[in-house]
Copies of this chain bind each other. A is one copy, B any other.
């Protein structure tokens, strides 16, 4: 540890942890060590998860449910066991409230579609309103635009303050008696902002609107307690939390899942089918049509085990220390401007910035030549770029294996970028 890192507290033992992630050993461009700072896009996968995936296919693979043979029973036990693990991870009152999807986007679309086809009192139609925010990921914008187009419901949103926070000053005009659903991000993937859940939930409850929280950037990074959030639905995605691709989660309150109509139809989600009509299985199966992503759910279960073994509070602490250090160091870089909160308070471990008028694509490319992987562009949150009048940002985002040394490398890399285009 260099002098600059002294005083950083709450860091994890990354030297040990990093050994769990084979990809972090990779070198690029003639021997440059990989500095992976694109964790908000996807996290890397520990050996513990990769091994569970292989073991699933080598030992237990079968289609789940309905099988009376050993493999089918084992696969089912593993799949449903993963549901138990996820339920515990988010402190769900019941395992039956955990629906497996393919990614967070499907989870969000699922809610939008359920509400579009629902009966009263949930039904979204031309007399009702939908509320989102200007800092949503496209996956929490487009489903509502589609729903609004299809039903005639009015789409409204909270704007942003100059320092990257939600502007809730007009909350009473935005969320009204007409609001059926308020859907917002817990931690922004572009700004890093952690949003004030309680204020929004309180207002939504006042008017009887449902609340959907997009926890895609929260579940990987901090303890998540769906009961404490008091939301009706919470969505997140496996590949950002040490899990495999191809798996997402929607948690929903049991009564709602019972009342709301199914979305996709097919095998597994039915109770009984005739050519004339069908009845549906109880949740969560009602919302899981077809052969589910079995191995991926099992892999997500292993990821949850991995994260829990480290401790979500410890991970949050580590990332907070790293983020604090990163904010401090980045602000030392001339012409660098952070887009989003410029302190580490109430913010997650993703930091977007601009570097003078050097285009982010160029920043990212020159950093890549040094082995540093960051993301550039609008990060699927283009309205945020429009809001701040910029075409794109460069984003560095951290995770449990990120080190202060990697921040130093990033800062040196940015100096190089400045010189190169200067």
Interface on A for B, CB 8 Å cutoff?
A: 22-23, 26, 28-29, 34, 36, 38, 41-42, 44-45, 49-50, 53-54, 57-63, 66-72, 102-106, 108-109, 112, 117, 134, 137-143, 145-146, 150, 155, 157, 237, 239, 244-248, 262, 264-270, 272-275, 277-278, 289-296, 361, 364-365, 367-368, 372-377, 380, 382-383, 386
Contacts and interface: CB of A to CB of B under 8 A. Distances in A.
Nearest to A290: B105
Nearest to A269: B142
A135 to B, nearest CB: 11
Contacts of A376: 68
Interface of A: prevailing SS: mixed
Contacts of A26: 59
B54 A50 contact: yes
Contact of A264 (B69, B71, B143): B143
7 contacts: A38-B67, A38-B72, A41-B62, A102-B106, A109-B289, A139-B267, A245-B291
B247 A71 contact: no
A264 B373 contact: no
Nearest to A296: B246
Contact of A270 (B57, B58, B142, B377): B142
A380 B267 contact: yes
Given A266-B139, A291-B237, A274 B386 contact: yes
Nearest to A107: B290
Contacts of A23: 57-61, 71
Given A134-B275, A143-B265, A41 B54 contact: no
Contact of A102 (B44, B63, B290, B372): B290
Given A23-B61, A71-B36, A142 B102 contact: no
Contacts of A105: 264-267, 289-291
A319 to B, nearest CB: 19
A304 B396 CA distance: 37
B67 A41 contact: yes
A124 to B, nearest CB: 14
Given A57-B50, A102-B293, A41 B63 contact: yes
Contact of A68 (B59, B68, B365): B365
Given A69-B373, A265-B143, A267-B137, A22 B275 contact: no
Nearest to A239: B291
